[in-house]
Structure 1
Amino acid sequence: MRSFFSFGESKEIAEAITGGGSRPEDLRRQTLADNAIFIIVASALIMPIVIYTALQGATLPFFVAVLALISGATTLMLQRHARYEEAACAQVYLLLTAGMLLTLADSRFVDGGLAIALLGPIYASLMARPQIRRISWTLMVAIGLIASVTATFGKAPLIVEHVDLGLVGLIGFALGAVMIARTAGRIGMSFEIQEKSQLATYRHLIEHVQDAVFRYSSSGELLFLSRSSEKLFGCPRYELTGTGLGQRIHVADRPTYLTAFADANQAGIQRTIEVRMRQDDPHANTAVPQFIWVEINFSPVDETRTSGSRFEVVGLLRDVTRRRDQAAEMEAARHVAEEASIAKSRFLATIGHELRTPLNAVVGFSEMMTSGIGGEMSDTHREYAGLIHQSGTHLLEVVRMLLDMSRIEAGKFEISTDNMAPDDLVEPCLKMVQAVANERDIRISSRIARLLPTVVADERACRQILINLLSNAVKFSHDAGEVTVSLKQQGQYLNLSVSDNGIGMSAEAIAHIGEPFYQANDGLARAYEGTGLGLSIVKGLVELHGGTLRAMSEFGAGTTMTVLLPINGPAIKLRETATVTSLYPDTAPIETIPWQDEKRNAI
């Protein structure tokens, strides 16, 4: 059985050492119970003696022993019911009450009662909350005042005979001191165990974390390297001690490594670098060294720096070879894509210019043939010439759209903005698509708001936007359908909308609006002709103006395409307009003529 006077490791502390999980708070609560049992046992052991003294006429020791017995049983019950703060208060007040009783019975200022009372605040500082500590010190001061008054008048309020109060005070102080010393030892041991447990946890974490961890002393000596470094470099840890870690850095990257380490070691600056380091492969058949990319984070340890000295440095080593390879692959893929885009644009521009010359000849000569310049033709020949003219015109339009699209993608399409009346756009564009609409009995109407503001935009580009939207609306409308053009002001934007009641688009098709060569009903069996460049050109021209293109559609219920163009034109570069440039940058400051100042003084 463990002695109550033992200062060794308790069962709870042993459990904490072996991983039982006891925390300092758990040990403090268990200490309350042990102290309660200690008080009960001590009171029971001295009870025969105090009963004998009570029979001799000295009832104070008996009363103090009974009080201690009741207090011990009460605190034990409170601790068992998880009322720990109340149990601690009861033990603190027991020491203060016993000390006050002995002080009232002893006329000396320095007596055993005052010493026992002093143990109360000390015990409260170990086991109670701050409020109880303040109360205990207040009561201690009051007991001290009582002792001083008693010593001044030389007469104790309580008259006790047939008992040595000095011996009683000494026994009580000894028991209280043993209880407090044991409590302080256990609490100190619990915090020490907790600190050791935390250190063990941190060490386990560092040793098994995926990134390798190192620590350098302020003089540059490698103090620690985690176990994960063996997997990172493919060698035992002892080979990396001393200069082994530094020798694995690629020769070309060593200046970067040393500079970053010096910044952390001398200036206390955290640095992150990426260097190449040698990795061993025990299964390799060649002696050619293999290098991997390693990200190194240097972090100075502020607590290790003294006046005028350097910092210790803690760092992380992480293999980023895969990330570097992926970045290189992405860069190569981006370069290939850019080259392919440039080649595509160059091809479209070249083939466009090459096709326009013969197509112009085809269109021109077919028009001459239909007009009878080369002589009278039969109806069949005139029909064939008309088909040639129609096909050539269609090809010219396709080539023009290809050239515009390639120029927009290459950033070579330039717009020339000027003040423009937006309502002048609609009528010419309607006339250009009216013939196609009449063939299918499609009615085109317009709704133009009154008092529209002047818009700063490229008129030719705006005509192309409206013509493309109208052509699409007519193309995808049903026979005898209706197309509506509306023009109105919406805040700081001009709202240009083209609506139809045609086939409409699905949500998936709306998401692809603006992509070159995309059509909703793509495939060999599609019912509508076209290259899929119309809306792509519209989107590009709208973005050049700083506007937006929106689509609202429902499959089978028609489509509404809306273009928002800023009334004040595309955004102006603030850097060019915010700074006023002097017309005379080299002009010297104007000197003040002295006679002007003299004239002011005279006035």
Structure 2
Amino acid sequence: MLRRKTLANNSRLTIAASALVTPLAVYGLVTGTVLPFALTALALTSGLTTLALHQRRRYEQAAAGQVYTLLGLGLLLTLADGRASDMGMAVALLGPVLASLLGGSTLRRHSWMMVVAVIILGTIAAAIGVPGALMASNTLAFAAAATFLVGVGLVIHTANRINTAYEVYDKSQMTAYRHLIEHVQDAVIRFSSNGEVLLASRSSEALFGCRRYELTGSGLGARLHVADRPTFLTAFADANQGGETRNIEVRMRQDDAHAASSIPQFVWVEIRLTPVLDAETAGMRHEVVALFRDITARKDNEAAIIEAHRAAEEALSAKSRFLATMGHELRTPLNAIVGFSEMMTTGIGGELSPTHSEYAGLIHQSGKHLLEVVRMLLDMSRIEAGKFELQNEPFQFCDILEPCFAMVDPMARERDVRLMSTIEDNLPLLHADERACRQILLNLVSNAIKFSYPGSTVSVTMRRQGQSLNLSVIDQGVGMAPESLARVGEPFFQAQSGLSRPYEGTGLGLSIVKGLVDLHDGTLRAMSEIGAGTTVTVLLPINGPAIKTEETATITPFRREPIAERNTSWLDEKRKAQ
């Protein structure tokens, strides 16, 4: 804006100066002296033209007109003076100076080219003796001096206005930076190249609980925790000497005038050290600007998360130990109950009355149910604790289908459910733990039978799918809602919970299946529709899990929590990398 105003002022000054000397120029023209009138006419025409261009917002052309006017005036004076070195060349040299203040690189380049042309023409004119204007020497000197003074006045005025613009700009920039530093939330401290505190923002008083002047000298360094001082000094040296930006987290003392005790209070502070790089100080020490941010709340949250995670792991470990201990403690008496009740029902201890035989059968059935529950609890605790070891060997998966059907056939007959199987021909050998695969199939089939309608069918299909074996168990039972389907695999979860639920069970069947499938690096999928049945699909790698046998005892998380999913062990990471 000031540059544009300067262009207009220069045009007005040129018009005013031309108007003042116009009477003298006209008098000179009448008396036979042409040069003063030519100089005045050129200057007046230039002033009016450049002012018109300025009003039409053609600022670059206005600046070029003023520069070319000085060059033209210099050329006229050079040709009018027969000497090789005259005042005209001095006027012409003012053109590039004005161009450097008002114009761009193109105008500056053109002005220097025209100066060279003026010098060449003046030298040629002096060499060949071209006569100047017919006037007295004192008149020529007066015209040259007046033109030079006007040109110098324009250059001085332009330089003064441009300098004022830079001063205003620098002052506004400093005011903006000072306002920013004083009102930014983070504390800002500027260090000299020798490490002295040059400036501290107002927010540093709130952060450290002291006045700003107390941070000078050794005040800031004394607030650093003793254990964190080497970290700060190393980072500061990297920024001060190496010119590198560093981020560190340290503890610093915070004063509290209202504290009841004299025990120092430390807060966690994140410091970003940034060097002030300057080409003139290359290879030397740099000034450093540091931003201090209080991160005590974040550190407290991180510590709370770590503590909560540790407590959750301890609770999970305690639960696994409890289940394992109680399972072993319950299995021994239950085996005795099941065994003796079976002896009683077979008449080994003597004939029983029908009522007693019925009671013994109920005891035997209940004991077997409790043993099954204890077995599932033990399996789940071993999987969750990472103590379920796989014994991978090649076998035909279809060979375990008939034995599993035979085991669940009484349950299917009791519920009037028909079992069917579809097996693809030429299935490859599966490298997996046969005992675990048998348990997967038994749990899926028994779960499908339990939730099937009387008279319906449970189908088992086996086929190859790429590098995996596809095992699908399809029932025509009650199905599951989408919100229940999303929780398949969670321990103790049942779609119909409560004391009035029509289906018995612990809700561990699919949890154990999911854990065993995960140990094999497989995939468990479920699709269901209420009233139309459920399809559970298991994909097991044909070549077995891509891990070693001794590394199969990896903890399998059952809970769907983000923390548990993120905090995987190094064995899981190693298994994924292999």
Q: With structure 1 as the length reference, what TM-score do the two structures score? A: 0.81
CA distance in 1, matches of 2:297, 2:240: 30
Whether 1:544 aligns to 2:501 is: no
CA distance in 2, matches of 1:555, 1:43: 100
Aligned residue for 1:87? Answer: 62
Deviation at 1:351, TM superposition (A): 0.6
SS of 2:536's equivalent in the other structure is: strand
CA contact (8 A) 2:481 2:530 kept: yes
Aligned residue for 1:592? Answer: none
CA contact (8 A) 2:34 2:133 kept: no
1:130-529 correspondence runs (5 A): 130-155=105-130, 164-251=139-226, 253-254=228-229, 257=232, 261=236, 272-301=247-276, 303=278, 312-529=287-504
Q: Look up the equivalent residue of 1:39 and give its one-letter code.
A: T
CA contact (8 A) 2:187 2:291 kept: yes
Structure 1 residues 351 and 64, CA gap change in structure 2 (3 angstroms): same
Deviates more, 1:59-68 or 1:489-498: 59-68
Deviation at 1:345, TM superposition (A): 0.6
Deviates more, 1:176-185 or 1:188-197: 188-197
Deviation at 1:238, TM superposition (A): 2.9
CA contact (8 A) 1:305 1:311 kept: no
Structure 1 residues 105 and 490, CA gap change in structure 2 (3 angstroms): farther
Two-structure CA RMSD over aligned residues (Å): 3.1
**Aligned length, in residue pairs:** 548
CA contact (8 A) 1:305 1:312 kept: no
1:101-116 correspondence runs (5 A): 101-116=76-91
Deviation at 1:413, TM superposition (A): 1.1
Q: Look up the equivalent residue of 1:323 and give its one-letter code.
A: R
Q: Deviations over 1:338-369 (max 9, x none)?
A: 22111111100011011111222222223333
Q: Pick the aligned partner of 2:22 from 47, 56, 62.
A: 47
CA contact (8 A) 2:197 2:215 kept: no
Structure 2 residue runs of 5 or longer lacking an equivalent are: 552-578
SS of 1:291's equivalent in the other structure is: strand
CA contact (8 A) 1:112 1:168 kept: no
Deviates more, 1:209-218 or 1:329-338: 209-218
Q: Deviations over 1:415-464 (max 9, x none)?
A: 11122323334333334334333433434433333333332211211222
Structure 1 residues 139 and 453, CA gap change in structure 2 (3 angstroms): farther
CA distance in 1, matches of 2:274, 2:387: 49
Q: Look up the equivalent residue of 1:35 and give its one-letter code.
A: N
CA contact (8 A) 1:57 1:162 kept: no
Aligned residue for 1:128? Answer: 103
CA distance in 2, matches of 1:160, 1:463: 124
Aligned residue for 2:575? Answer: none
Structure 1 residues 145 and 268, CA gap change in structure 2 (3 angstroms): closer
CA distance in 1, matches of 2:283, 2:58: 53
Whether 1:68 aligns to 2:80 is: no
Structure 1 residues 514 and 146, CA gap change in structure 2 (3 angstroms): same
Deviation at 1:516, TM superposition (A): 1.5
Q: Look up the equivalent residue of 1:113 and give its one-letter code.
A: G
SS of 1:202's equivalent in the other structure is: helix
Deviation at 1:147, TM superposition (A): 2.0
Q: Deviations over 1:368-408 (max 9, x none)?
A: 33333334444444443333332222221111111111111
CA distance in 1, matches of 2:42, 2:294: 70
CA contact (8 A) 1:95 1:116 kept: yes
SS of 1:292's equivalent in the other structure is: strand
Structure 1 residues 114 and 560, CA gap change in structure 2 (3 angstroms): farther
CA distance in 1, matches of 2:394, 2:442: 20
Q: Look up the equivalent residue of 1:225 and give its one-letter code.
A: A
CA distance in 2, matches of 1:514, 1:160: 113
Structure 1 residues 129 and 312, CA gap change in structure 2 (3 angstroms): closer
Aligned residue for 2:537? Answer: 562
Structure 1 residue runs of 5 or longer lacking an equivalent are: 1-25, 577-603
CA contact (8 A) 1:272 1:297 kept: yes
Q: Deviations over 1:34-89 (max 9, x none)?
A: 22222222222222222333333444543443333333333333333333222222
Deviation at 1:202, TM superposition (A): 2.4
Q: Deviations over 1:538-567 (max 9, x none)?
A: 221111112222233344443332222222
Deviation at 1:270, TM superposition (A): 5.4
Deviation at 1:253, TM superposition (A): 4.8
Aligned residue for 2:555? Answer: none
Aligned residue for 2:566? Answer: none
CA distance in 1, matches of 2:221, 2:355: 90
Structure 1 residues 370 and 72, CA gap change in structure 2 (3 angstroms): farther
SS of 1:553's equivalent in the other structure is: strand
Q: Deviations over 1:495-528 (max 9, x none)?
A: 3233334333333323322221122333333333
CA distance in 2, matches of 1:79, 1:480: 98
Q: Pick the aligned partner of 1:553 from 518, 528, 537.
A: 528
Aligned residue for 2:11? Answer: 36
Deviation at 1:228, TM superposition (A): 1.7
SS of 1:155's equivalent in the other structure is: coil
SS of 1:450's equivalent in the other structure is: coil
